[in-house]
Structure 1
Amino acid sequence: MPRLLIGNDFTEDLENAGEQRLATARWHAKRAVFFARDHDVLVLPEAPDDSFVRYVTALTGTDPASLAVVTPPEPAMLTPATLADPSLRERVRATLAGRRIDAVIPLHPDPAAVDLARGLGLLDAVAGHAFIAQGGGSLANSKAVFRALAAGTGAPIPEGAVCADPEAAARAVCPLFEQGHPVIVKHEYRQATRGNEILSPVGGITAWGARRLTVLGDSGAVAGYLRDHWGELAGDGGQGHRLVVERYFPGSTALFAEFTLTDAGTGPGTGGGSGTGRGTGTGIEPAGQGEMVYDPKPSAQIMPVRTVDPELTAELLARGRALCEPLHAMGYRGTLSTDAIVTPAGQLYFTEFNGRTTGSSHIYAEIGARIVGPDYPARRVLLEHVAWPVTSFDRAVAALSDAGLAYSQDTRTGVVISTAFDAAYKDLCFCAVSEDLAGARKLRQRVLDLPDA
């Protein structure tokens, strides 16, 4: 059955509008093409290039001629105002004519997407629409809410606090400084490390997972810095958002486990997409897991987990699933990523969750399970590299083919380009598929050594 996919990758909670955010939104949203099935309709900030669509659908087996893409008149983030625009809605309605839509799937669970579905007569096709419509997506993406639910369910979390003002943040930071520990401070919503900063009583720390390191000498300097930079740290002038303070563990390994939350197992009378019932927990299924690599910003991801003790991976999955249970019971439906670290001492701590389609989802679900095969976690390793400088998408495809590096369905190894090309970035992400991690790393290096793409 056809579906309506909404590429609202960024919301106003996660990122402010602006030229850079628009470029990021249009770039990231095009990964929805990987999720497309025959006859789907995609609502995107701008239309993907034909070459990208042909490339992806050749790998996934989707008929590109059966797909339809609807965009605003000019490239625009799919904000609530954009999704409410009557002309956009009319174009979506006209495109849907004759298609019996089975599901409406937004990349981010935003009330605006539910409102669009309601206006199209498709409200029941949105899983968990009652929860999303009342702002539940914000709960599922709040680092502050995460800490409360993690603490309540007994998940191990780093020492720290949720802070509503700079004075509370100073009270959380200073005791950790007195013990010689650096801290990481996090914007409640921002993603991909853009809202993170490391504060430390000493220098010499690499700021993995954060935009910068700031060294502060004493409690007075801490209080002054937090007061003077509160608007930047909490975002949007500090209005309406909280700051999370956590002990920072240098040299840790970052992990994630994603789960799919569905209506399976909900109580009687709670079917459909309402998500109003009390979940029993059986509607929570593991979807994918892996490792994030920093250098010091995000530079790669490995799927499945390969470099930590299998017992810790099992704990990641078991405790991650337990973290899903409160949100499932509340009515959240969709993808939930639970993030964690393993410290150099071998301790597992959970750090946040993300209730949305993430930058990892299409790697394990589409490149992994759909293209490589459902047995990929046992047979293959996927290594996605974040930034490959290229001049165009077509030249990158040709360079991989000429070098014999393109993904082969026969060997189930090779390189899959995992993002569209955007002139604002002038690079691509790619996924190296190999039988083991060493092989995937060699493939990645061969791509980066290509003379011209």
Structure 2
Amino acid sequence: MVRVLVGNDWSEELEEPAGTGWAVQRLAWFAEDGDILVLPVRPEEEFLAYVTSLTGTRRASLRILVPPPGRVGTGVLTADRLADPGFLVALRDLLGGQPADEIFALWPDAAVAELAGALGCPEALQGHGFLGQSGGLLGSSKAVFRAVAAGVGAPLPDGAVCADPRRAELHIARILDDGSPVILKQDYGSGSDGNEIVSRTPDVPLRGARQIRVLGAADSGSGGVGAGLRAYLDERWDWLTAGGRHRVVVERYHPDSRAYFAEFWLSDDGCRLGGHGEMQYRPLPDAQVMPAPDLDERQLHTLVEGGRRISEGLRAMGYRGVLSADAVVTPAGEVLFTEYNGRATGSTHIYEIVGKRVVGEGFGRDRILLERVWPTGWEVPSFGAALRRLRESGHAYDPETRRGAVVLAAYHPGRKGVMLCFVDEDLESALHREQLVGKLFTAG
């Protein structure tokens, strides 16, 4: 079986792409013997050797192919790079003139469907027809998410999808009048960058958004629409709608909630649960813990079964691939779904490969995973140096004890770091190990 793995991330149909080719190197975790990896830049050989030593994949069996630079350079796999005639010749040569058996992409983009067609094997990409019509974008739309979730009966926070600022005004004022803050979401925002909170008081904890805008009772329209709220929307509407191209989600914000996800793999054969976990914020995404901690039986059931219904709804439309259903658990114990992400997320390779393949059967029973996003103050000189420090200190992941730190991604020179996942028997032990490892990389 020959697979083609495509390291793309996000869609140029949504915004002008930018990147360094660093984040998509997580594609290496999915590689199996004989795979062809298509990446925007060639990964460090030391990183590939490290990943394959943990997954058991034979490094020598993998083929790496990097298309010529495209219209925005080499950092991302734009559509023109995937359609480059020389690249297609080279890829067909690696396939030995035979069609690929499977095409797996990090992002379900129309350009990948076109690549499958150019290779003469559209059937190798499940959901080809849907993706070829840019259906993959529906899996990242917060507006479409609310329609699908409401349609399948998954619990949602109070709110509305708004294409008009006057409609947004009315729903924001209504929720504020009920005594709750409001979170506004760009339709296609990612990583909480497209979110803002509107509140009548400044004491709302900031989580999952860049900033809080405080509007007094007169400003926000107690019993109606206030001038301050209208001025705020006049100021921010262009940003919220990406220049008027998209809709805005208005949603009741539940302070002090905890954020969780349940991720599913959708295929022609059905819908299977991949994994679940907690997402921690400070105020933007800061860490992940897998599997999901501190949920009672009812809450976990609601998270998984609600996520399954949402996934089945999108699957019925033709979507195939990974879908993460995100939810919050409120201080009152309610489970409310807030969005989905139709792509291989920053969680997928952690639970699916590090958890299930590297850690093995004990994952979720006697071992948990803690990933920390860019710990403050950490500086790593290079991937190789970071790995050596971990090994010399005894903190590198040990397959015998099934404990230690796994380096998830290669070195990012701009941020002077790598991403780490801590494997231990419980969260307390993982946090303690994180503190010890931090001493290896903290400047001064």
Q: TM-score, normalised by structure 1?
A: 0.91
Which letter maps to 2:335? Answer: L
In structure 1, the partner of 2:262 is 257
Cα distance in 2 for partners of 1:232, 1:90 equals: 42
Which letter maps to 2:124? Answer: A
Cα distance in 1 for partners of 2:310, 2:441 equals: 46
Note the C-alpha offset of 1:263. Answer: 1.2
In structure 2, the partner of 1:358 is 345
Whether the 8 Å contact between 1:13 and 1:190 is mirrored in structure 2 is no
Which letter maps to 1:2? Answer: V
1:220 aligns with 2:219: no
SS in 2 for 1:378: coil
Note the C-alpha offset of 1:93. Answer: 2.4
Q: TM-score, normalised by structure 2?
A: 0.93
Note the C-alpha offset of 1:451. Answer: 4.9
Whether the 8 Å contact between 2:99 and 2:119 is mirrored in structure 1 is no
SS in 2 for 1:230: helix
For residues 364-411 of structure 1, the C-alpha deviation after alignment (integer angstroms, 9 at most, x for no partner) is 001000100044112210001111431211111011111110101111
Cα distance in 2 for partners of 1:15, 1:367 equals: 31
Q: Would the alpha carbon gap of residues 99 and 405 (structure 1) be closer, same or farther in structure 2, given more than 3 Å must change?
A: farther
For residues 15-48 of structure 1, the C-alpha deviation after alignment (integer angstroms, 9 at most, x for no partner) is 532xxx313xx12211000000111111111111
In structure 1, the partner of 2:62 is 67
Whether the 8 Å contact between 1:13 and 1:189 is mirrored in structure 2 is no
In structure 1, the partner of 2:51 is 56
1:45 aligns with 2:40: yes
In structure 2, the partner of 1:232 is 239
Equivalent residues in 2 for 1:297-308 (5 A)?
Answer: 297-308=284-295
Note the C-alpha offset of 1:98. Answer: 5.9
1:400 to 390, 410, 428: 390
Equivalent residues in 2 for 1:154-169 (5 A)?
Answer: 154-169=153-168
Cα distance in 1 for partners of 2:56, 2:14 equals: 33
In structure 2, the partner of 1:427 is 417
In structure 2, the partner of 1:335 is 322
In structure 2, the partner of 1:271 is none
Which letter maps to 1:61? Answer: G
Superposition RMSD on alpha carbons, in Å?
Answer: 1.6
Cα distance in 1 for partners of 2:173, 2:76 equals: 40
In structure 2, the partner of 1:382 is 369
Structure 1 range deviating more: 162-171 or 242-251? 162-171
Q: Would the alpha carbon gap of residues 452 and 319 (structure 1) be closer, same or farther in structure 2, given more than 3 Å must change?
A: closer
Which letter maps to 2:322? Answer: T
SS in 1 for 2:146: helix
In structure 1, the partner of 2:200 is 201
Which letter maps to 2:418? Answer: L
Structure 2 residues not aligned, in runs of 5+ = 220-225
In structure 1, the partner of 2:223 is none
1:291 to 278, 302, 313: 278
Note the C-alpha offset of 1:13. Answer: 4.7
Note the C-alpha offset of 1:337. Answer: 0.6
Note the C-alpha offset of 1:452. Answer: 6.0
For residues 38-65 of structure 1, the C-alpha deviation after alignment (integer angstroms, 9 at most, x for no partner) is 1111111111111111111111111112
Cα distance in 1 for partners of 2:275, 2:336 equals: 19
Q: Would the alpha carbon gap of residues 442 and 116 (structure 1) be closer, same or farther in structure 2, given more than 3 Å must change?
A: same
2:31 to 20, 27, 36: 36
1:246 to 223, 231, 251: 251
In structure 2, the partner of 1:268 is none
In structure 2, the partner of 1:267 is none
Whether the 8 Å contact between 1:167 and 1:227 is mirrored in structure 2 is no
Cα distance in 1 for partners of 2:88, 2:345 equals: 26
Cα distance in 1 for partners of 2:439, 2:361 equals: 31
Equivalent residues in 2 for 1:85-100 (5 A)?
Answer: 85-97=84-96
SS in 2 for 1:339: strand
For residues 79-108 of structure 1, the C-alpha deviation after alignment (integer angstroms, 9 at most, x for no partner) is 223322323323322332266622001111
1:122 aligns with 2:121: yes
In structure 1, the partner of 2:7 is 7
In structure 1, the partner of 2:185 is 186
Structure 1 residues not aligned, in runs of 5+ = 265-282
Cα distance in 2 for partners of 1:420, 1:368 equals: 19
Q: Would the alpha carbon gap of residues 451 and 192 (structure 1) be closer, same or farther in structure 2, given more than 3 Å must change?
A: closer
Which letter maps to 1:244? Answer: V
For residues 57-77 of structure 1, the C-alpha deviation after alignment (integer angstroms, 9 at most, x for no partner) is 111111112111122334132
Which letter maps to 1:355? Answer: G
1:312 to 292, 299, 323: 299
Which letter maps to 2:275? Answer: G
Cα distance in 1 for partners of 2:209, 2:385 equals: 33
Note the C-alpha offset of 1:248. Answer: 0.6
Q: Would the alpha carbon gap of residues 451 and 124 (structure 1) be closer, same or farther in structure 2, given more than 3 Å must change?
A: closer
1:22 aligns with 2:19: yes
Cα distance in 2 for partners of 1:16, 1:194 equals: 16
Note the C-alpha offset of 1:228. Answer: 1.8
SS in 2 for 1:448: helix
Whether the 8 Å contact between 2:68 and 2:84 is mirrored in structure 1 is no
Whether the 8 Å contact between 1:14 and 1:191 is mirrored in structure 2 is no
Percent identity over paired residues: 46
In structure 2, the partner of 1:138 is 137
Whether the 8 Å contact between 1:15 and 1:190 is mirrored in structure 2 is no
For residues 101-141 of structure 1, the C-alpha deviation after alignment (integer angstroms, 9 at most, x for no partner) is 22001111111101011101121100111111112111122
